[in-house]
Structure 1
Amino acid sequence: MSFPEPRWKKKQRRKNRLATLAKVALVFIAFIVLMFGGHLYGAKGNIRTAIGTFTGECRIKGNIRVMTGERIYHLPGQKYYPSTRINFIRGERWFCTEAEAQASGWRKAKTL
């Protein structure tokens, strides 16, 4: 006579599958970024930024103004940071450091 599997064991197995799936997805995203230069995700070939974007490590928002095309980055704590949305299709992206943003030709937002 066999007993049914305990609930905690099923939950643990499901959690392990989700963790494995998340790792596979991260590797796939990194592969796409390396293959296509990051244009799909706004990372421009920088694998650290690409992975940091999806893990939440990179918190600087690179925004492009619609009317002027000006490239501006917003830091956490600045006035418009919470309302700034990243649109990868328009070329907006995340940065891990201010130096990376400036090297890519973006300027810091003037509002504090």
Structure 2
Amino acid sequence: MNVKHYSYRVLWSQEDQEYVGLCAEFPALSWLDEEQAAALEGIVRLVRDVVADMEASGEPIPEPLSQKKFSGKISLRTTPAVHRDLALSAAENGVSLNRLINALITGRGGCKAELGC
């Protein structure tokens, strides 16, 4: 397992006054450091150590998100009233409900031009 294939992020922590390194596949892990690059190096090392421990104990190791296959399908439940409002908005914009929701969740909702119509 190449631990560099995991999804890492480094953010400034106002509370800690340091950079915090995070890994999406291991949400319980973090690494604080005064230097941004060192926070990234620290979280990568920590993940490497945790993966080695998991391998040694026979635990399942999370698959990197970068290697997962996604279908592109999302199942969503909502209230009948929201469903009706979305269907009405889609009809008014001359697009399918699927296209409207896609535009809304990607931040391109609003007028017809923003919906790609």
**Alignment TM-score > 0.5, same fold:** no
The TM-score with structure 1 as length reference comes to 0.26
Structure with the bigger RCO (C-alpha within 8 Å, sep 6+) is: 1
Q: What TM-score do the two structures reach when normalised by structure 2?
A: 0.25
